[in-house]
Structure formats: C-alpha cells, structure tokens
C-alpha cells in the first residue's frame, strides 16, 4: 500500500480549522450526542474532505454497535492507537517526556490541559480540537512532529478487515482527511512509517512514571482544554 494517498495540503494551518473541528468529533468515542449533531458536524468540513463514508456509517448503525466497533478498532489494536506519542515511544519513559511536551505546548498557547479529563494530551482528537479552537499553528507543529504515526494510523485503518469481509475501517476517512491537510512526508518520516509497518510501535513497557509530575502545571493556572467544551475528548469506556 502506498504511504501517501493525498491531495495537496492546504496552504495555511488556519485553513484546516473547520476540517480539524469535524475530525476531532468524528474520531471520538461515539455517543448519542455525537450522532445527534452529525448534520452540524458535516457543515464544518469542506465537501472535498471525503468524510461521507464515515458519516454514512455513523448514521446507519446502532449506537451500541458503533461503540463496540470503535473500542475494537482503537483500544485493542496497537497500530490503530489515537495517541500520537505511542507510535514513536510506545509505553516507555521517553514517552512521558513527550507527553509533557504536549502539555507545555498547550500552556504556551494559553490553554491549560485538564488532567481530570480522562485523556492524555497527545490524543489525536485533543490535538485537532486544540488546533480548531485555540492555536492552529501550534497544532500544525504537533501534528507534523508526529506525522509518521498519523500516516501509520491511516494505513492501518485502510487495511482494516471488517467482520463482513470487507476492507477499510469507516474511520479511515477522517484520518485520511487529516493526512490530506498536512504536508507530504519527508524522507526520514517515510522511513519511520516503513519501520512502524514492519515492527509496530515500541513494545517495551516501563510505565509513564513522572508524566503527571509537571511542577509548572497548576490546576488553577488557566482554562481547561476539555472542561466545559461541547466536544468531549475521550469518553469513558
């Protein structure tokens, strides 16, 4: 499968905000509220974004079925993780440092990460929501810093085997749209994707010790990224 399945990237991060807003919701855990808002969500992204297959799937399946499919896809499959640092570091101590980098990037843009949100700050939906509503330039950098992982996710979803024998996860449409909003892979990034295809993310499990101990972070330092949002990231499951 080719590493790239792309249209030309939009020229400015700000041009991607509507698309990122739509994808931040469509890639989140399905809820009744999400399904009720699909018509509104559809208007956020340009028609050429190619989200119709996912929108149709969400509109024609029972909520419980969608939730089961989502968990099977994103929670039980290493190559389909929505956590961007996981592709580069797995569950190693180096990943803890990378997660702090996300929190610091949010804080530098004036947004305090909510540690009580139930999600890690590198969750793709959180980064997209941040880019859509707070700082598109910072989100652009974070996404491009983890471009290889996002491409690995796209490839894994494109090759996903469904229970009916068909190929391709319905959520592939949203990840492909995110990829299409970013610059093409550089040479080193393409090599990193090939390694991920062959080996998967690092498997060493040494924990994320120290991730939460960010002395510069105070729960009262500013508004939470997720708290109070109408687009919840990482619903309990």
For 13-199, CATH gives: 1.10.3480
Beta strands in 74-204, from DSSP E residues, in sequence order: none
Give phi and psi for 189, each to the nearest 5: -70, -40
In this predicted structure, the answer to whether residue 99 has a pLDDT above a threshold of 70 is yes
Per-residue pLDDT, 194: 76
Q: What is the tens place of the pLDDT at every residue in 193-233? A: 777 677 666 766 544 444 444 433 333 233 334 333 333 33
Q: Which residues contact 101 (CB under 8 A, 6 or more apart)?
A: none
What is the model's pTM?
Answer: 0.81
Residue 99, Cα to own-chain centre: how many angstroms? 14
Domain layout of the chain by residue ranges: 13-199
pLDDT confidence of 92, banded at 50, 70, 90?
confident
Buried/exposed code over 111-143 (b: 16+ C-beta within 10 A; e: otherwise):
bbbbbebebbbbbbbbbbbbbbbbbbebbbebb
């Amino acid at each position: 499968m080719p590493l790239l399945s792309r249209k030309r990237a939009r020229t400015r991060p700000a041009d991607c905000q509507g698309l990122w807003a739509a994808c931040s919701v469509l890639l989140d855990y399905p809820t009744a509220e999400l399904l009720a808002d699909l018509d509104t969500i559809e208007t956020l992204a340009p028609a050429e974004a190619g989200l119709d297959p996912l929108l149709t799937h969400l509109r024609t399946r029972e909520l419980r079925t969608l939730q089961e499919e989502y968990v099977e896809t994103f929670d039980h499959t290493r190559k389909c993780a929505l956590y961007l640092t996981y592709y580069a570091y797995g569950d190693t101590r180096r990943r803890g440092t990378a997660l702090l980098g996300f929190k610091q990037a949010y804080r530098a843009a004036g947004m305090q990460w909510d540690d009580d949100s139930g999600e890690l700050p590198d969750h793709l939906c959180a980064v997209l929501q941040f880019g859509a509503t707070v700082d598109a330039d910072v989100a652009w950098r974070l996404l491009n810093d983890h471009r290889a992982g996002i491409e690995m996710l796209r490839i894994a979803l494109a090759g996903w085997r469904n229970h009916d024998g068909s190929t391709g996860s319905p959520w592939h449409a949203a990840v492909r749209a995110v990829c299409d909003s970013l610059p093409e892979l550089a040479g080193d990034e393409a090599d990193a994707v090939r390694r991920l295809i062959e080996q998967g993310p690092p498997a060493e499990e040494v924990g994320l010790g120290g991730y939460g101990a960010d002395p510069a972070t105070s729960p009262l330092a500013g508004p939470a990224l997720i708290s109070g949002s109408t687009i919840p990231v990482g619903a309990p499951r």
